[in-house]
Amino acid sequence: MTTLPPDQDIVFKGYDPEISRRLFAFLGPYRWRFSLAMVLMLISSAAAVAGPYLVKVAIDDGIGTGSIAILRQVVIFYLAIAIIQWIATFIRVNLMAQVGQSIIYDLRSQLFIHLQDLSLSFYSHYSVGRVITRVINDVGVLREFITWALLAVARDLFALIGIVIVMLSMNLRLSLITFTVIPIMIWGTTVFKKYARQNYRQVRAAISWVNSVLAENINGVRVVQAFSREDTNYHYFRDVVNQNNLDANLRAARIASAFPAMIDFLGAAATALVVWLGGMAVIRSVPGAADTITPGVLVAFLLYISRFFDPIRDLSRRYDSFQSTMAGSERIFALLDEPVEVQDAPEAVQLPKIEGEVHFEEVSFHYQDIDPTEGDQLVLEEINLHIKPGQTVALVGETGAGKSTLIKLIARFHDPTDGQILIDGHDLRHVSQISLRSQMGIVLQDPFLFNGTVAENIRFGHLEASDEEVSAAAQAVGADDFIQRLSKGYDSPVEEGGAVLSVGQRQLISFARALLADPRILILDEATSSVDTQTERVIQEALARLLHGRTSFVIAHRLSTVVNADIILVVHDGRIIEEGNHSELLALGGRYFHLYSSGFED
């Protein structure tokens, strides 16, 4: 199996001010806390910079002159500063935790709400894995950055500027000697950045490949075991996919190790220079002359040199994190920018309790964002329909004829490209989606159940339903029997893998769910395909009760489900080519007749 490495979603193109602007917009509600944290950061940075200077004062003015009084003052002052720094840091970290986590909370929440608005066609080309990566991992990278890096970058910059100012004011000559290593450092950093960026991409691509191969193997584990593919798959994973990840990490490790070594060496070189040139200056200096270098100054300088290189090393390390943050944000905003296909109109009204009359007027539809690899896309053409309240409508036709699209338009999963759909005379585009769908029940071919208990899944259709109502719904569709036999009855968990429930049983539960919702309009999309003949009979009897007094649309491969409908629509290539009840259509001797007869030919 040569599962291909996944494409990179978006490759980081460089710094984009638009992204920073949008990120800062999320900071908005917390700007006061953020500013306060910034001030506290300044205070603790100042305190950190003051440390070596105080040591210098203590040595030169206190110990050097033998003045215990001055030494005491300096020591008390240092202690006070240390305590201020302690308090400032404590408050700052907590503030930033709140700011950072709140932003992350808001961002995830906003992403999730947006996901609720995106069209179904979005989900056909955006996999679950990618959605999770966006909402969990990419936002996670952002969290690290906001909580730790954002202020650290500010601190490093302040520290660097502060140290440079102190050094310059203490002694110009020694400062200039120290700064001679900077050009080499800039060159080294530029080279490092280039490689680091490449490595970052490769490492990211490698791990997401591991991720997708793993995910596929877990999802397909039953097939893997059925075909005894464990060894082959293991070797492929170990020798290709995971090895690629190892190699990428090792390459990255070489560069990542060389950089701090270089910075450290430059620090050592600067120290050696200061000891040599600075030391000579101390020896030669005439007391009282301008630009004197005292031993205290030299000691302080040596201390500052190490502090001068720390923020530089830090900043270049942050570059990595900065880069992944920008790349992650770009992907997050791309998802937030995905257009919402179906939106409530600003003046949308609540759809009042409906009778269930459905009107299609010259409705045409084609998908807007066609995935070129998906081949033919369905198009509905000039559909005219008038369904009276309480009628049962069956849709038949080949796979891909447009049956599902038609019912998706009724539920307003998509808006028609042309024409309009009216329910009880209300154009769907003028009513709120919630008020529309809360009066609709839909049972799909793939009976999706959520993690939770059986009862919770049935109750999904009507959150306020009592236990009695839940079991009444289950009884009505013939699901009560098997549910009672489960070890915990209605409280049995429904699990992702779920050998405990068969596909047919899941379908029955989804029926109960729809029944409990007590919809005015009911849509069944091949809902009985995995149910055996006996169960289907049970359901059909239940359905007969369920359909009574409701407008309903039924898609089925099995014509036995269809024959009783008030209206049968034969859909072919996006058009309704035959319309009428069972006997009318049979008499027509057209496509329906053929479909119906082929169902019983062996």
Partner 1 sequence: MRSLLRLRSFVQPYWKQVSLAFIALTFLTLISLAIPLIIRQVIDQGLVESDARLLITAAIILLVIGIARAFLIYWQRYLTERIAAQVGFDLRNRLYDHIQRLTFTYHDHAETGQLISRTIEDVRSIERFTGNGIVELIHLLLLFFGIVILLFSANARLAIIALLPMIPLVLVTSNFGRKIGDYFLKVDNSLGELSTRIQENVLGVQVVRAFAREPYEVERFNTANRILYNARISVIGEWSKIMPTSHLLVVLSTILILWFGGNLVIAGEMTIGGIVAFNSYLLMLAEPARQLTWLVNMAGEAVAGVNRTFEILDIEPEIQSPADAVTLPQLSGRVQFQEVALAYQGEASHALCEIDLTVEPNQVVALIGSTGSGKTSLVNLIPRFYDVNRGALLVDGIDVRDVNLESLRKQIGIVLQTSLLFSSSISENISFGRSDTTEFEIIEAAKAAQAHEFIESFPAGYDTIVGERGVTLSGGQRQRVAIARALLLDPRILILDDSTSSVDMQTEQLIQKALWELMQGRTTFVIAHRLSTVHRADLILVMENGQIVERGTHRELIAGDGLYREICDLQLRDREKFHEEVRVLDSPAATTYPSPKPQGWEAE
Measured in degrees and rounded to the nearest 5, phi and psi for residue 140 equal -60, -40
- The residue range among 16-24, 90-98, 358-366, 466-474 that interacts with partner 1, by the rule CB under 8 A, is 90-98
Contact letters (x/-) for partner 1, 438-477, by CB under 8 A? x-xxx-xx--x-xx--------xx-x--------------
Please count the residues of this chain forming the interface with partner 1, following the rule CB under 8 A.
Answer: 195
**Nearest CB to partner 1, comparing residues 16 and 314:** 314
Answer for which of 89, 202, 420, 453 binds partner 1 (CB under 8 A) is: 89
**Nearest CB to partner 1, comparing residues 29 and 384:** 29
- The residue range among 171-179, 320-328, 415-423, 536-544 that interacts with partner 1, by the rule CB under 8 A, is 536-544
Please name every residue paired with 580 in a beta bridge, in sequence order, or none if there are none.
568
Answer for which of 19, 64, 355, 359 binds partner 1 (CB under 8 A) is: 64
DSSP three-state, residue 447:
coil
Residues 209-228 that bind partner 1 (CB under 8 A): 210-212, 214-228
- The residue range among 150-158, 162-170, 275-283, 467-475 that interacts with partner 1, by the rule CB under 8 A, is 275-283
Neighbouring C-beta atoms of residue 362, cutoff 10 Å: 12
**Nearest CB to partner 1, comparing residues 387 and 543:** 543
User: Closest distance between partner 1 and the C-beta of residue 16, in Å?
Assistant: 26
Please name every residue paired with 568 in a beta bridge, in sequence order, or none if there are none.
394, 580
- The residue range among 159-167, 169-177, 258-266, 311-319 that interacts with partner 1, by the rule CB under 8 A, is 258-266
Angle between helices 295-336 and 31-57 (to 10 degrees): 160
Q: Is 31 in the site for partner 1 (CB under 8 A)?
A: no
Please name every residue paired with 436 in a beta bridge, in sequence order, or none if there are none.
none
**Nearest CB to partner 1, comparing residues 56 and 329:** 56
Measured in degrees and rounded to the nearest 5, phi and psi for residue 445 equal -60, -45
Q: Is 276 in the site for partner 1 (CB under 8 A)?
A: yes
User: Closest distance between partner 1 and the C-beta of residue 459, in Å?
Assistant: 10
Answer for which of 11, 39, 79, 184 binds partner 1 (CB under 8 A) is: 79
Position 407, amino acid: I
Answer for which of 39, 123, 168, 345 binds partner 1 (CB under 8 A) is: 123
Residue 74 near residue 62 (C-beta atoms within 8 A) = yes
Q: Is 173 in the site for partner 1 (CB under 8 A)?
A: no
Answer for which of 146, 358, 527, 531 binds partner 1 (CB under 8 A) is: 531
Q: Is 4 in the site for partner 1 (CB under 8 A)?
A: yes
Burial class (CB within 10 angstroms; exposed 0-12, middle 13-18, buried 19+) of 364: middle
Residue 377 near residue 370 (C-beta atoms within 8 A) = yes
**Nearest CB to partner 1, comparing residues 471 and 510:** 510
Q: Is 390 in the site for partner 1 (CB under 8 A)?
A: no
Residues 307-336 that bind partner 1 (CB under 8 A): none
DSSP three-state, residue 141:
helix
Position 578, amino acid: E
**Nearest CB to partner 1, comparing residues 260 and 361:** 260
Please name every residue paired with 443 in a beta bridge, in sequence order, or none if there are none.
524
**Nearest CB to partner 1, comparing residues 17 and 372:** 372
Answer for which of 167, 170, 298, 470 binds partner 1 (CB under 8 A) is: 298
Provide Rg for the chain, Cα atoms: 35
Q: Which of 369, 377, 424, 426 is nearest to 404 (CA)?
A: 377
Q: Which of 402, 436, 380, 341 is nearest to 121 (CA)?
A: 341
Residues 558-587 that bind partner 1 (CB under 8 A): 559-560, 563-564, 581-583, 586-587
Give the position of tokens 């000691």.
Answer: 299
Give the position of tokens 């530029």.
Answer: 190
Q: Is 108 in the site for partner 1 (CB under 8 A)?
A: yes
**Nearest CB to partner 1, comparing residues 319 and 418:** 319
Answer for which of 305, 393, 431, 595 binds partner 1 (CB under 8 A) is: 595
User: Closest distance between partner 1 and the C-beta of residue 545, in Å?
Assistant: 8
Q: Which helix (H) or strand (E) holds 365?
A: strand 358-366
Please name every residue paired with 263 in a beta bridge, in sequence order, or none if there are none.
none
Q: Is 102 in the site for partner 1 (CB under 8 A)?
A: yes
User: Closest distance between partner 1 and the C-beta of residue 109, in Å?
Assistant: 6
Neighbouring C-beta atoms of residue 514, cutoff 10 Å: 25
Instruction: Write the DSSP string, 92-120.
Output: HHHHHHHHHHHHHHHHHHHHHHHHHHS-H
Token pair belonging to 300? 């302080």
Q: Is 112 in the site for partner 1 (CB under 8 A)?
A: yes
Position 542, amino acid: A
Answer for which of 31, 173, 386, 545 binds partner 1 (CB under 8 A) is: 545
**Nearest CB to partner 1, comparing residues 24 and 227:** 227
Answer for which of 8, 20, 127, 384 binds partner 1 (CB under 8 A) is: 127
**Dihedral class, residue 11 (left if φ above 0, else alpha if ψ from -120 to 50, else beta):** beta
Answer for which of 207, 336, 348, 385 binds partner 1 (CB under 8 A) is: 207
Residues 479-498 that bind partner 1 (CB under 8 A): 482, 485-487, 495-498
User: Closest distance between partner 1 and the C-beta of residue 25, in Å?
Assistant: 20
- The residue range among 109-117, 161-169, 414-422, 570-578 that interacts with partner 1, by the rule CB under 8 A, is 109-117
Q: Is 188 in the site for partner 1 (CB under 8 A)?
A: no
Q: Which of 323, 504, 328, 514 is nearest to 411 (CA)?
A: 514
Angle at 341 between CA 337 and CA 342, to 5 degrees: 125
DSSP three-state, residue 471:
helix
| Distances in whole angstroms, Cα of residue 98 to Cα of each of 31, 37, 93, 167 | 12, 11, 9, 36
| Distances in whole angstroms, Cα of residue 246 to Cα of each of 63, 226, 238, 251, 258 | 56, 30, 10, 9, 18
Contact letters (x/-) for partner 1, 236-255, by CB under 8 A? -xx---xx-xx--xx-xxx-
Q: Is 187 in the site for partner 1 (CB under 8 A)?
A: no
Q: Is 195 in the site for partner 1 (CB under 8 A)?
A: no
